[in-house]
DNA sequence: TGTACATCAGTGAACGCGCGTTCACTGATGTAC
DNA sequence: TGTACATCAGTGAACGCGCGTTCACTGATGTAC
């Protein structure tokens, strides 16, 4: 158990990743349900039974691929967001960058996208380990909201990421996560009233989400962010799965427009 | 070819629908990819080869099930909307009824929902016949918008479906489908500016959609309706596919809130 | 009304395929003394 | 440093399964004269 790996350990690590790579290749090419241990083994020039030294079953291999896909998507979103921030983009610009990266990744890896956001494999139960990676995109967007909210709450002096046309409300204070009441606060909603107060159940769910990934953001904004989040993935799924044929296909313009509208919607 | 069916014709019609029913049962229970011609034949007590007298291939049987699923969902949405209208609901109430019916159907028939809105079966190409049934829900919502828009454009006298709190703009006229410019018109947007004019591609796509299912509704409203539409199905898919676990699950409150927000968003 | 023929439903065997997983085994690598 | 033993990777055959589809066939139903 030293830092120096034995030859065996190195070989094992290498083969493990070769198996994953080949499996990923098959999923990318033909979809998750066509993933076959025998085909992977064949391609790697080994007996199919040998794979069982590395993965206890097909489902376990699938789980690893799912985690990898979530991670790849999450990393792509994080990178794009950070790059936008580095280039001086405000919160809205970063939101755009994140959403655009998610779509770009999905278009580039449609079967891997389907693996994580499409129909779940029947009988397959996502294990605990997938939860973290699955939340990375949400964490990025939640972080953006939290950052923007904190900056605005701090007043004009701290409003480096305030939207050019957006009217900050300097009189308000930054709220905490439990301040998820009616959403009246420092948030410029582009004139859109956050009218409907959250029903109790949603209020608590929003508080949980806020505590996890968007501290300080009030409940109604979280609720809207959830709406924007489901819209984002709904739109991408529709595009990939052919549901936009006959309406917004090709979807570039619609996507771009939607992202803008949803950024308005959440108050960025 | 008379109206009177021969015994053969009656038997054929009956068996055809029995096959479909059994196939539907299997899909409902285990998902589309588990649908097996042999299992269907087994359950019906006949040789598997006999099915080929009724359906030329497994894919054709699947296509029929897909069409049936679209039709069942569409009919459910249409019924609920009509019932709401019959009960005196305004356009917004009908919109709610339609969305709620879609979700209810999806929750009651998760595998059939996945069959039509989940990951497409690899290699399967949806044939022309699916297009009509696939558009029924969209047609309902488009019709609601068109009706509401026409009523408001006609002024207060015709505003039988005007929203109680909604401010109609009596000075404006009902626009035609090609009046899809900046969205300034008789539409009360709850203070939300339809600021961003549509880019050319989206503008044309919106005009096509409007011409098909929502005549007279301006482009920006169509674009927002498309956003609401993708949000609706994105949210339902997330709920069914387990993506809301840890945030808005159970999703009843979130769903209801979202429908309200999106009704505001499209100006109902 | 009766007969000859065509149409069609349904059968059962077979083709050819691929899959996940298990198991007893060989031989190489690593480890403890 | 060398030896005895334990660990582990990989093999190849086999189990048991299910699938979609084809084909030659039998026998019943329908039709034309």
**pLDDT by residue (tens digit) across B185-241?**
445 544 445 556 899 999 999 999 999 999 999 999 999 999 999 999 999 999 999
Q: Is the CB of residue B36 less than 8 Å from the CB of residue B26?
A: yes
Say whether pLDDT at B69 is over 90. Answer: yes
Return the minimum-mean-pLDDT range out of A169-173, B107-111, B144-148: A169-173
Inter-chain contact A254–B226, Cβ cutoff 8 Å? yes
What's the rounded mean pLDDT across residues A188-207?
76
Inter-chain contact B248–A205, Cβ cutoff 8 Å? yes
Task: Give the model confidence (pLDDT) of A64-117 as tens digits.
Answer: 999 999 999 999 999 999 999 999 999 999 999 999 999 999 999 999 999 999
Phi first, then psi, for residue A114 (nearest 5°) are: -60, -35
CA of B60 and C1' of D30: distance in angstroms?
28
Inter-chain contact A192–B192, Cβ cutoff 8 Å? yes
Threshold 0.85, pTM exceeds:
yes
Say whether pLDDT at B67 is over 80. Answer: yes
Say whether pLDDT at A256 is over 60. Answer: yes
Say whether pLDDT at B68 is over 50. Answer: yes
Inter-chain contact A261–B227, Cβ cutoff 8 Å? yes
What pLDDT score does B117 carry? 97
Nucleotides of D under 7 A from a protein CB: 8-14, 18-24, 29-31
**Which nucleotide has the least CA–C1' distance to B35?**
D19
How distant is the Cα of A205 from the closest Cα of chain B, in angstroms?
Answer: 6
> Chain B interface, mutation test: which of A136, A234, A244, most B Cβ atoms within 10 Å?
A234
What pLDDT score does B124 carry? 76
User: What's the distance, CA B260 to chain centroid?
Assistant: 18
What pLDDT score does A154 carry? 63
Inter-chain contact B243–A122, Cβ cutoff 8 Å? no
Token pair for residue A118?
């499409």
Question: What are the residues whose beta carbons fall under 8 Å from the beta carbon of A184, sequence distance 6 or more?
Answer: A194
What pLDDT score does A194 carry? 55
How distant is the Cα of B161 from the closest Cα of chain A, in angstroms?
Answer: 21
Distance CA B107, CA B92 (A): 23
Burial A117-138 (b: 16+ CB within 10 A, else e): bbbbbeeeebeeebeebbbbbb
Nearest protein residue to nucleotide C7 (CA to C1' distance) is B8
Give the residue, B173 or A20, on which the prediction is more confident: A20
Inter-chain contact B226–A261, Cβ cutoff 8 Å? no
The confidence band for A7, taking pLDDT boundaries of 50, 70 and 90, is confident
The number of C-alpha atoms within 13 Å of A51 and in the hemisphere containing its C-beta is 25
What's the rounded mean pLDDT across residues A130-138?
95
Say whether pLDDT at B111 is over 80. Answer: yes
Say whether pLDDT at A3 is over 70. Answer: no
What pLDDT score does B57 carry? 96
Q: Is the CB of residue B101 less than 8 Å from the CB of residue B76?
A: yes
Say whether pLDDT at B66 is over 90. Answer: yes
Q: In chain A, what residues touch B246 (CB-CB under 8 Å)?
A: 131, 135, 208
How distant is the Cα of A118 from the closest Cα of chain B, in angstroms?
Answer: 5
Inter-chain contact B231–A226, Cβ cutoff 8 Å? no
The confidence band for A197, taking pLDDT boundaries of 50, 70 and 90, is confident
CA of B34 and C1' of D23: distance in angstroms?
27
What's the rounded mean pLDDT across residues B33-47?
96
CB-to-strand C contacts below 7 angstroms: A 6-9, 35-39, 48-49, 52, 57-59; B 8, 11-12, 15, 45-50, 53-54
Question: What are the residues whose beta carbons fall under 8 Å from the beta carbon of B116, sequence distance 6 or more?
Answer: B66, B69, B70, B73, B134
Say whether pLDDT at A239 is over 50. Answer: yes
Say whether pLDDT at A188 is over 60. Answer: no
Distance CA A62, CA A58 (A): 6
The residue of chain A with its CA nearest to that of B258 is A227
**Which nucleotide has the least CA–C1' distance to B52?**
D21
What pLDDT score does A41 carry? 97
Q: In chain B, what residues touch A204 (CB-CB under 8 Å)?
A: none
Give the residue, B218 or B179, on which the prediction is more confident: B218
How distant is the Cα of A112 from the closest Cα of chain B, in angstroms?
Answer: 11
Burial B239-252 (b: 16+ CB within 10 A, else e): bbbebbeebbeebe
Phi first, then psi, for residue B166 (nearest 5°) are: -75, 140
Return the minimum-mean-pLDDT range out of A12-21, A117-126, B79-88: A117-126
What pLDDT score does B157 carry? 40
What pLDDT score does B17 carry? 97
What's the rounded mean pLDDT across residues A14-30?
96
Say whether pLDDT at B84 is over 80. Answer: yes
Q: Is the CB of residue B100 less than 8 Å from the CB of residue B80?
A: yes
Return the minimum-mean-pLDDT range out of A78-87, A182-191, B11-20, B119-128: A182-191
Distance CA B205, CA B228 (A): 16
3-state secondary structure of A87: coil
Say whether pLDDT at A121 is over 90. Answer: no
Say whether pLDDT at B246 is over 70. Answer: yes
CA of A40 and C1' of C27: distance in angstroms?
24
Return the minimum-mean-pLDDT range out of A202-211, B115-124, B177-186: B177-186
The confidence band for A124, taking pLDDT boundaries of 50, 70 and 90, is confident
What's the rounded mean pLDDT across residues A12-41?
96
| Most distant pair of Cα atoms in chain B: their distance | 70
pLDDT over 70, % of chain A: 82
CA of B2 and C1' of D30: distance in angstroms?
13
What's the rounded mean pLDDT across residues A6-33?
95
What pLDDT score does A169 carry? 38
CA of A127 and C1' of C17: distance in angstroms?
33
What pLDDT score does B158 carry? 34
Give the residue, B146 or A5, on which the prediction is more confident: B146
Q: Is the CB of residue B26 less than 8 Å from the CB of residue B35?
A: yes
Cα–Cα distances in angstroms (integers) from residue B217 to residues B161, B197, B209, B221, B229, in the given order: 16, 15, 10, 7, 16
Inter-chain contact B198–A31, Cβ cutoff 8 Å? no
Say whether pLDDT at A185 is over 80. Answer: no
How distant is the Cα of A267 from the closest Cα of chain B, in angstroms?
Answer: 12
Nucleotides of C under 7 A from a protein CB: 8-14, 18-24, 29-31
CA of A35 and C1' of C17: distance in angstroms?
16
């Amino acid at each position: 158990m030293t830092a120096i790996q034995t030859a065996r350990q190195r070989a094992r690590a290498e083969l493990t990743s070769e198996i994953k790579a080949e499996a990923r290749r098959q999923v990318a090419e033909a979809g998750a349900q066509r993933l076959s241990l025998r085909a992977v083994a064949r391609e790697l020039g080994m007996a199919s039974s040998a794979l069982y030294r590395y993965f206890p079953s097909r489902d376990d291999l699938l789980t690893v691929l799912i985690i990898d896909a979530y991670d790849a998507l999450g990393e792509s979103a994080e990178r794009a967001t950070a790059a936008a921030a580095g280039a001086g983009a405000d919160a809205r610009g970063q939101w755009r960058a994140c959403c655009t990266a998610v779509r770009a990744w999905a278009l580039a890896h449609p079967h891997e996208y389907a693996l994580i956001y499409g129909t779940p494999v029947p009988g397959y139960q996502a294990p605990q380990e997938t939860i973290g990676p699955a939340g990375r995109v949400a964490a990025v967007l939640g972080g953006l909201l939290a950052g923007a909210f904190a900056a605005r709450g701090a007043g004009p002096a701290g409003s480096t990421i305030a939207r050019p046309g957006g009217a900050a409300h300097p009189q308000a204070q930054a709220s905490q996560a439990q301040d998820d009441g009616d959403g009246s606060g420092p948030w410029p909603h582009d004139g859109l009233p956050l009218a409907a107060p959250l029903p109790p159940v949603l209020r608590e769910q929003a508080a949980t989400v806020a505590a996890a990934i968007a501290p300080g953001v009030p409940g109604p904004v979280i609720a809207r962010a959830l709406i924007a989040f489901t819209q984002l993935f709904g739109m991408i799924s529709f595009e990939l799965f052919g549901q936009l044929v006959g309406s917004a296909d090709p979807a570039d313009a619609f996507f771009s427009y939607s992202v803008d509208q949803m950024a308005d919607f959440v108050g960025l």
